[in-house]
Structure 1
Amino acid sequence: MGDRGGATSLVGDAGIGKSTLLHAAAQHAEDLGFAVIDTAGVASERTLPLAGLHQLLMPVLGKLDTLAPAQRRVLLTAFGMHDGPPPELFLIALAALNLLSEAASERPLLLVVDDVQWLDEPSETVLTFVARRVGRDPIAVLGAFRPGHDGPFATAGFPELIVRGLGEDAARQVLAANAADLGSTAQEEILRTSLGNPLALVELPAAWRAAGAPATRGGAQIPALTARLERTFAGRLPVLPQLTRDLLLIAALATRDELPEILAAASTLAGVSATVEDLEPAVRARLVQLDPVRISFCHPLIRSAVELSESLGRRLAAHGALAGAVGADAYRRTWHRAHSIVGTDDGVADELDAGHTVALSRGSVISAIWALERSAELTVDSARRGRRRLLAAEHAFGLGRPEIIGRLITAVAHDEPSAMEAARVELLRETLNEVPPGDTARVLRLCESARDAHRAGDTSLALDLLNVAALRCWWADTGAQSRAEVARALDELDEAVADPRHLAALACAEPILRGAEVCGRLARLEPESIDDPAALRLIGTAAHAVGDQVRAAAYLDRAENLLRERGQMGLLPLVLGVQCAVRLDLGDWARIDAALAEGRRIAAETDQPFWGDGQIINEARLVGLRGDLDRAFDLADQSFAHPIFSASNVVLACAQLARGYALLSAGRHSEAFDAFVIAFDPASSSFHPRERIAAVMFVAETARHAGRFAEGREIIEQLEQVAQLTPAPMLRLHLQYARAVLAEDFEAESRFQTALAAPELMRWPWVRARTELAFGTWLRRQRRSSESRAYLRSAAIVFDAIGAGAWSRLAAAELRAAGERPRIAPRDSPLAVLSPQELQIATLAARGLSNREIGEQLFLSHRTVGSHLYRTFPKLGITTRAQLSDRLNTTPPASGTASSPE
């Protein structure tokens, strides 16, 4: 493995040998000098927040003092060992990563996790987070799970080792060692039934001897084999003493494997004192193993066999006994009480309702949802039952779990919801994608629900409903009537004008007709005065919607920084997605590649596939402008074929622009013009009233090069009328460019000078460079070469700086034609030699951030950051950290920083 890490999944059926392989790997790792930390998921702990992670990190908790104080507090709070506000799950994950990285600094580390499918969901999410990021640390992760598991570790794309049954020869050897006393007929029957499963080859002979019954002929299916093995283990239970069976039942249902707790609960269940000696019959039967303080089952199937062999009444009584034995842990006590009841119990329901906040405080939203849902099942009053289900559904909304939302809001419908609760259901229903985005009736229904909520006094809910209604108007063409209705409903919320949701909804519903109002309100909002990243995202989205990209960048950049500081990864893919579009328009291309990759990765980690797929269209536009024709068309085609995006005008408009960009970059001007024209046709599915603005200067340029001046001017005249309705900076600058490019020679110069004199143009380097290129080209063709060179030179420098290779080459060709040898962009420029992530890390280091601070920003261990920088320095031809700023052309920090990558 060297100094690098990685993760591997072992996938196989119960009894196939995964645990044996993990044990062998752990033993081999120890022989090589690794430290080994192992744990296993337990089915009964799946709703206990972070139970699996706590067990996994137990051996290294002594190193907590090596962490930054904030990260130390995060872990202690998550494990209920420190009071504090609920930590973000990904802050917990980052703290766990750094803790393990510190442990691995002494010697390589192997994490072994068996039965991943039974980890509680937050623990599996953290494990996956860690496993994705150990590539630069000497940490290996091995996780084993059964086929069909679809949790984050299973879907992360780690290399998989499929553990299959033994071949016939090996199976016969195992069988011979365990069934030598059985006849050949019995052995052949067991051989067929086992399907090469090692556990079956060991355990079925014993079952045959005990029962004398033949195995299923013809070979069992895997589920049937698993059930048969469970029955085999269950067959050993009746001969055990009753007190031993009580102890096994308690151990099977317990959420911890601590012997004192299990002995106390078993004593309550049995009504007599239980001791360790009472477990000896189970040890001799190879059902459990003991150490001085813990008990463990020899195989997970034994645990499930014990549960299945007992009656419902016995299981309920066992949970009741455990509730009385867990000591001061109120959450676990309530959890067991909830499992000890059939029917309703308002007292326990209230405890669960109160206890769901404990789950939230430990970063486990999924456990909070379970607590609320079970609380609802135990509640007598239907109204309170519905409120609890609705709250659970809203938590599921925050997680992006439509399958849970659908189940819960279906149940709420039977709980007599109030008008306001019905409005909340309408909001939640939006996550289910039951209605196409362009459905006008749905928009009007949401507006009516918003009015209901407002009349009931819930302005916040009204704003949420109008936001989703406005987003429907943004994503697809719902018609002028629905857009106007959303705006009217917003106008009725006088008291909410200062709320960012109001601004965002107005901008998305009516970006043109209400653009002036939105721009005016944006001008009064300073990004640095706002500390809520969700609010900043909404304001940035509003600015983007009305074409004020400079303000959008300011709001979104601050939102991104705050989200990183606070570990709120859930919103990052949304912010990064809009940022990419904004940076593309402005000319900040160097940061887009890293944002695209990070946006996709975090969208996958936070289970937001929509936002991961949404980066397709940003990449399509970027590669189109860079001149990669095939890639741009391929990505555009993916958007047109996407099951959701294919019904979205805004996405299809951007896909059409990507095609036009690529054709223009390739010099195919007439085809490019035809591609752009589609985006200006209201009858086309690729028409979007706002996104067409991004094509104004391109349609003008292609019209000029293709000699289609009249068609181009007709389109520009339409946009001149739009400009009377909105002061959008993007539209104003694009129109100035278009007027100059399509002007007759006698007025072209004055129009170019007007365009270049626009004071805000300096903050739009892409538009400025294109204007300079067009003006310089015009001057050269007017035989004014000496005047043209300054404009062409400036354009070439900007194109080089932002990575617009196709445009840089065009500017260089024009400059040569004007009689000047263009400056050749260095082949070792940071954009050329660094990966997107290396550039991202180097840029932050150049700003003066320490490795720990960079790690916290990018959700990496500080050792991984140091490793990246160590490899970056030689690529950039530098030897000290202080040289980064000059090499990357970034502003140096106010104070000195360490000179080494570390």
Structure 2
Amino acid sequence: MKPVHGLYGRRAECDMLDRLLEDVQAGRHAVLVLRGEPGEGKTALLDYMADKAANSRVIRISGVQPEMELAYAGLHQLCMSMLDHIDDLPPPQRDALRSAFGLAEGAAPDRFLVGLAALTLLSEVADARTLVCLIDDFQWLDRASAQALAFVARRLVADPIALVFVVRSSGGEPEPDDGELVGLPELTLTGLDDRDARTLLASAIPGPLDERVRERILEESRGNPLALLVLPTDLTLPELAGGFGLPTSRSPTSRTSRIERCYLRRLGALPPQARQLLLVAAADPVGDPALLWRAAAGLGLTADAAAPAEAAGLLTVGTRVRFAHPLVRSTVYRSATQDERQRVHLALAEATDRQVDPDRHAWHRAAATAAPDESVAEDLARSAVRAQARGGAAAAAAFLQRAAELTPDLTLRGERAVTAAQAAFTAGSFDMAYELLSTAQMSPLDGMQQARLERLRAQLAFALSRGSDAPGLLLHAAERLTPLSLPLARETYLEALMAAIFAGAGQLEPEFGARTVAEAARAAAAGSGSLSSADLLLDGLSAQFTEGFAAAAPTLRRALEAYRASTGGLTWVCLTASLVAAEMWENEAFLNLLDTQVKAARTAGTLNLLPLALDYLGSYYIQAGDFAAAAALVEEAASLDAAVRVAPPPYTPTILAAWQGDQARTAKLTQDGIQDAFPRGEGSAVVLTEYAGAVLDNGLARYSSALASAQRATAGDNLVARSWTLSELVEAAARAEQPGIAAQALAELTERTQASGTQWALGIEARSRALLSEGEAAEQLYQEAIERLTDCHMNAHLARAHLLYGEWLRRENRRADAREHLRRAHDMFTLMGAEAFGERARNELLATGETVRKRTADSGLDLTPQEALIASLARDGRTNTEIGAELFISPRTVEWHLRKVYTKLAINSRRELRDATIDAGLDTVWVPSQGSPPG
């Protein structure tokens, strides 16, 4: 087959790259992950794409192994030519990018805010000319850059930008993890077919080739283009022509090592000075010719040393220093002795200005050091501080790991290893954190360091699996910290209690359950003085699990007030406080806590917990009857999950599907949630799916099934689920003619609602009590429930109060009165999209003699949840840049969504949005950061 631009057998791959470029030229985005073993032609395909993208702005970078520990080095390389646009970014993004690149001092930026800044910057540049970004050897990028670029790839929607990532697949030995790209479109290169392989081999060998030699080369190369070009150079001309001297058998080796052997032959033929210069270039990740020549001069090398390497086709020294292939660089570096590497790194350290680039200076100096050396270790520790300030937790961990290795004092070594492990944990490098903890464990740690180590080991267990192991580990760590640092101990007790709450429920109750942890926490009282919000939360939750809900309520209410007054960011503890608000039916605190946390996370770009916060906020809107807002939040959380790879449990999607009456989706989400939860021992997932089942079955009037689900959900003490499910249990038991079960559930519900005292709580109590009452008492309770639930805007529960009252009135033969409330319930359920409850209201209306047509909720002329969200933000005066910053998409993507909104609403501009959204029923769509609930 005729080669495409010199690429044999790659026509299909070239066609795919052509289509990507066509998409970009048409104003669409394109993302591709190109995988393959070394030598399969990945870099050659990038060359092809760069040549074909003549009408676009092409930026090409490559990851290199020695630079993997320098935070944002790869992203800086990509963005370097675009920095003249940095002042056009929104201030938080601009400052984050400047800090990440070391252009300004400031607080450590969140890695996702850096990713958003990079997305906005690329979008800004692409506004003038389509942009093609080619990232070779992605697996060797520093982790911070890899995460940022993967984030950008997942958030591109309507930007004329192509991102092509090249990833080296395992070829004989494992490569660094490239899991950041999982889920993106992929193309895996395989070897050439036999015909193309023979043609390429023939083009590489102009002379005669013995048939047996040809077959041997074809067999060993297995279609790998680089192998076909390089393997023959391992043979002499007589061997190629007649096979004389060809070994009859060889030890089995991978293609990668065979290709490396061929490069080694070329290296062996070079003069010593040329080989040493190649080693300097391989050890320097920057590719700066000036730095190369400074280091070479320090080793006594002259400019003539480059000529043989360039003549051999291994290296090119121009405006940048480039190897012919990544395998050349790795072969050169791996083939050198330890002493040779150390001499070269020392020369690079001396050639690097420690004032301008102190971190690379420290890293090269460390690579040149074999024995422990405190001065080198101290330099690395300082570099770790700078890396942490730039948001490079992974880089900080790497610097500290090497610092620990070079620390002569065993005690200090252990302390640095623990600190490095904490940085690795923060960066999400859990394997590295465990390895560092093992290193620390072998050092003579003092009591405090040992306690910190144990706490971190427990935190790792909770992060990896929200299951039954974590509570006991965190509890032991808290007990160890108690005599050493009471504040840190109480923080750990709270973490242990959170872990126990997450894990414990029903048959999945862990060995160290919430009550056990709470009793231990109460023994570690905070002492005199003012209590922090975390102290109040710990004391309140401990009281709840030891003395009961009523005893805990005053302290929990104080904790909620303290959290509402605080200005802190989004943390696990803050999320726990929001769950307490939900359990206490504190609707204003529930909303405001999550609103504040989501707004802070959006502003700071702290996306680690934002998907979970959005999930929780969606659950508020379900209770408030705004399913459209809940769906928009669920969709946003799901899109962020894909970008940040932090997937929350599907609690809110399952609950939303149940309230909507979607049996198939509820069943699917329930099955997935339980299958995921059982292996980890995550009881909260099981409980919340049972709550969703009770809601669904009550809506469908399947009361026996609802009763069974509600009883399972209330079998253990779980935040939120127990309080919310008790009212479902009362309704199911009352309708299933189980008055004893209903009365018992009502008694517990009343204890909680009276302790809460909110309109939401008392409205739920009145509605539930009415189900077990008769005559005038029942009617007064239904009316009280409607009044209270109207006041607090909890419309899903208000609609159910109208439904139950209407059902009661019909059974009292008051059909006219019943129609009023049943019609109101039917209209509300239809508007919010609660189909099962809406059908239940419709059937009751039919029983009163009224004709009712089946209706479905107006979906805002088929706007998607995200389109509705963007429309409401634009309606309220937000600019595209502001909307993009809030939703973590580019301004161009916002405009793309708005054009679709205009088409669906048959309008032409923002000026017409307000009237159009009201007409489409979208005027109630509320955005979390607007700061006030719908009402």
Q: TM-score, normalised by structure 1?
A: 0.90
How far the C-alpha of 1:840 sits from its partner, in A, is 2.2
Q: Secondary structure at the match of 1:161?
A: strand
- Match 1:106 to one of 128, 137, 152: 128
How far the C-alpha of 1:370 sits from its partner, in A, is 0.2
How far the C-alpha of 1:789 sits from its partner, in A, is 4.1
Is the CA contact (8 Å cut-off) linking 2:93 and 2:117 kept in structure 1?
Answer: yes
User: 2:8 is matched with which residue?
Assistant: none
Answering whether residue 306 of structure 2 is matched by residue 289 of structure 1, we say: no
How far the C-alpha of 1:706 sits from its partner, in A, is 3.0
Answering whether residue 810 of structure 2 is matched by residue 772 of structure 1, we say: no
Which is worse superposed, 480-489 or 92-101? 480-489
- Match 1:859 to one of 885, 888, 900: 888
How far the C-alpha of 1:599 sits from its partner, in A, is 2.4
Residues in 2 aligned to 1:194 and 1:219: alpha-carbon distance in whole angstroms? 14
Residue identity over aligned pairs, in percent, reads 31
- Match 1:138 to one of 121, 142, 160: 160
Is the CA contact (8 Å cut-off) linking 2:33 and 2:164 kept in structure 1?
Answer: yes
Q: Secondary structure at the match of 1:7?
A: strand
1:422-479 CA-partner distances (Å, limit 9, x unpaired): 2222221223438997869x75664454354343235135313432234314531345
- Match 2:558 to one of 517, 521, 543: 521
1:688-727 CA-partner distances (Å, limit 9, x unpaired): 4752221222223223433333432343234445556665
User: 1:655 is matched with which residue?
Assistant: 689
Residues in 2 aligned to 1:208 and 1:509: alpha-carbon distance in whole angstroms? 80
How far the C-alpha of 1:232 sits from its partner, in A, is 0.9
Which is worse superposed, 236-245 or 478-487? 478-487
Q: Secondary structure at the match of 1:497?
A: coil
User: 2:10 is matched with which residue?
Assistant: none
- Match 2:837 to one of 803, 807, 810: 807
Q: Secondary structure at the match of 1:157?
A: coil
**1:550 counterpart letter in structure 2:** E
User: 1:638 is matched with which residue?
Assistant: 672
Residues in 2 aligned to 1:892 and 1:580: alpha-carbon distance in whole angstroms? 11
Tell me: CA distance 1:545–1:689, structure 2 relative to 1, closer, same or farther (3 Å): closer
Structure 1: which 5+ runs fail to align? 894-902
User: 1:541 is matched with which residue?
Assistant: 579
- Match 1:553 to one of 591, 594, 616: 591
Q: Secondary structure at the match of 1:145?
A: strand
Tell me: CA distance 1:508–1:449, structure 2 relative to 1, closer, same or farther (3 Å): same
1:621-672 CA-partner distances (Å, limit 9, x unpaired): 2212211112212221222222557623322111112222222333322222
**1:472 counterpart letter in structure 2:** A
1:233-269 CA-partner distances (Å, limit 9, x unpaired): 1111233222222211100000210111001101112
User: 1:565 is matched with which residue?
Assistant: 603
**1:309 counterpart letter in structure 2:** S
Q: Secondary structure at the match of 1:867?
A: helix
Residues in 1 aligned to 2:245 and 2:323: alpha-carbon distance in whole angstroms? 27
Answering whether residue 747 of structure 2 is matched by residue 717 of structure 1, we say: yes
User: 2:405 is matched with which residue?
Assistant: 377
Residues in 2 aligned to 1:475 and 1:561: alpha-carbon distance in whole angstroms? 29
Tell me: CA distance 1:762–1:827, structure 2 relative to 1, closer, same or farther (3 Å): closer
How far the C-alpha of 1:214 sits from its partner, in A, is 7.1
Residues in 2 aligned to 1:706 and 1:297: alpha-carbon distance in whole angstroms? 77
Q: Mapping of 1:699-738 within 5 angstroms?
A: 699-721=729-751, 732-738=762-768
User: 1:322 is matched with which residue?
Assistant: 348
Answering whether residue 654 of structure 2 is matched by residue 620 of structure 1, we say: yes
How far the C-alpha of 1:733 sits from its partner, in A, is 3.6
Q: Secondary structure at the match of 2:448?
A: helix
Tell me: CA distance 1:326–1:438, structure 2 relative to 1, closer, same or farther (3 Å): closer
**2:627 counterpart letter in structure 1:** W
Q: Secondary structure at the match of 1:569?
A: coil
**2:412 counterpart letter in structure 1:** R
**1:856 counterpart letter in structure 2:** A
Residues in 1 aligned to 2:247 and 2:528: alpha-carbon distance in whole angstroms? 73
- Match 1:186 to one of 213, 225, 239: 213
How far the C-alpha of 1:66 sits from its partner, in A, is 3.3
How far the C-alpha of 1:825 sits from its partner, in A, is 6.2
Residues in 2 aligned to 1:47 and 1:126: alpha-carbon distance in whole angstroms? 15
Residues in 2 aligned to 1:545 and 1:216: alpha-carbon distance in whole angstroms? 77
Q: Secondary structure at the match of 2:34?
A: strand
User: 1:837 is matched with which residue?
Assistant: 866
Q: Secondary structure at the match of 2:53?
A: helix
Which is worse superposed, 307-316 or 72-81? 72-81
Is the CA contact (8 Å cut-off) linking 1:104 and 1:139 kept in structure 2?
Answer: yes
User: 1:334 is matched with which residue?
Assistant: 362
Residues in 1 aligned to 2:856 and 2:497: alpha-carbon distance in whole angstroms? 50
Answering whether residue 203 of structure 2 is matched by residue 177 of structure 1, we say: yes
Residues in 1 aligned to 2:312 and 2:805: alpha-carbon distance in whole angstroms? 89
How far the C-alpha of 1:52 sits from its partner, in A, is 1.2
Is the CA contact (8 Å cut-off) linking 1:459 and 1:496 kept in structure 2?
Answer: no
How far the C-alpha of 1:495 sits from its partner, in A, is 4.7
Is the CA contact (8 Å cut-off) linking 2:762 and 2:788 kept in structure 1?
Answer: no
Q: Mapping of 1:483-522 within 5 angstroms?
A: 483-489=517-523, 491-495=525-529, 497-500=531-534, 502-503=536-537, 506-507=540-541, 510=544, 512-513=548-549, 514-522=551-559
Which is worse superposed, 134-143 or 463-472? 463-472
Which is worse superposed, 236-245 or 250-259? 236-245
Q: Mapping of 1:236-247 within 5 angstroms?
A: 236-247=266-277
Q: Secondary structure at the match of 2:199?
A: helix
- Match 1:16 to one of 37, 40, 43: 40
How far the C-alpha of 1:780 sits from its partner, in A, is 3.2
Is the CA contact (8 Å cut-off) linking 1:338 and 1:374 kept in structure 2?
Answer: yes
Residues in 2 aligned to 1:496 and 1:424: alpha-carbon distance in whole angstroms? 26
Answering whether residue 284 of structure 2 is matched by residue 254 of structure 1, we say: yes
Q: Secondary structure at the match of 1:642?
A: helix
User: 1:900 is matched with which residue?
Assistant: none
Residues in 2 aligned to 1:541 and 1:580: alpha-carbon distance in whole angstroms? 13
Q: Secondary structure at the match of 1:455?
A: coil
Cα RMSD (Å) = 3.0
Is the CA contact (8 Å cut-off) linking 1:537 and 1:556 kept in structure 2?
Answer: yes
Answering whether residue 727 of structure 2 is matched by residue 697 of structure 1, we say: yes
Tell me: CA distance 1:483–1:247, structure 2 relative to 1, closer, same or farther (3 Å): closer
Residues in 1 aligned to 2:560 and 2:198: alpha-carbon distance in whole angstroms? 80
Which is worse superposed, 107-116 or 857-866? 107-116
User: 1:233 is matched with which residue?
Assistant: 263
How far the C-alpha of 1:373 sits from its partner, in A, is 0.8
State how many pairs are aligned. Answer: 876
How far the C-alpha of 1:159 sits from its partner, in A, is 1.7
1:742-780 CA-partner distances (Å, limit 9, x unpaired): 222453102212322337852322111211221123223
1:477-516 CA-partner distances (Å, limit 9, x unpaired): 3457504414414534555722336415743773644531
Is the CA contact (8 Å cut-off) linking 1:12 and 1:147 kept in structure 2?
Answer: yes
Residues in 2 aligned to 1:558 and 1:828: alpha-carbon distance in whole angstroms? 30
**2:43 counterpart letter in structure 1:** S
Which is worse superposed, 369-378 or 845-854? 845-854
Residues in 2 aligned to 1:734 and 1:482: alpha-carbon distance in whole angstroms? 31
**1:286 counterpart letter in structure 2:** G
Residues in 2 aligned to 1:533 and 1:163: alpha-carbon distance in whole angstroms? 43
Which is worse superposed, 839-848 or 528-537? 528-537
How far the C-alpha of 1:565 sits from its partner, in A, is 0.8
User: 2:101 is matched with which residue?
Assistant: 79
Answering whether residue 33 of structure 2 is matched by residue 6 of structure 1, we say: no
Residues in 2 aligned to 1:268 and 1:801: alpha-carbon distance in whole angstroms? 77
User: 2:9 is matched with which residue?
Assistant: none
Residues in 1 aligned to 2:351 and 2:677: alpha-carbon distance in whole angstroms? 52
Tell me: CA distance 1:613–1:758, structure 2 relative to 1, closer, same or farther (3 Å): closer
Answering whether residue 608 of structure 2 is matched by residue 581 of structure 1, we say: no
User: 1:743 is matched with which residue?
Assistant: 773
Tell me: CA distance 1:890–1:767, structure 2 relative to 1, closer, same or farther (3 Å): closer
Residues in 2 aligned to 1:27 and 1:849: alpha-carbon distance in whole angstroms? 41
Q: Secondary structure at the match of 2:907?
A: coil
How far the C-alpha of 1:739 sits from its partner, in A, is 0.9
Q: Secondary structure at the match of 2:268?
A: coil
Residues in 2 aligned to 1:374 and 1:509: alpha-carbon distance in whole angstroms? 46
Is the CA contact (8 Å cut-off) linking 1:369 and 1:392 kept in structure 2?
Answer: yes
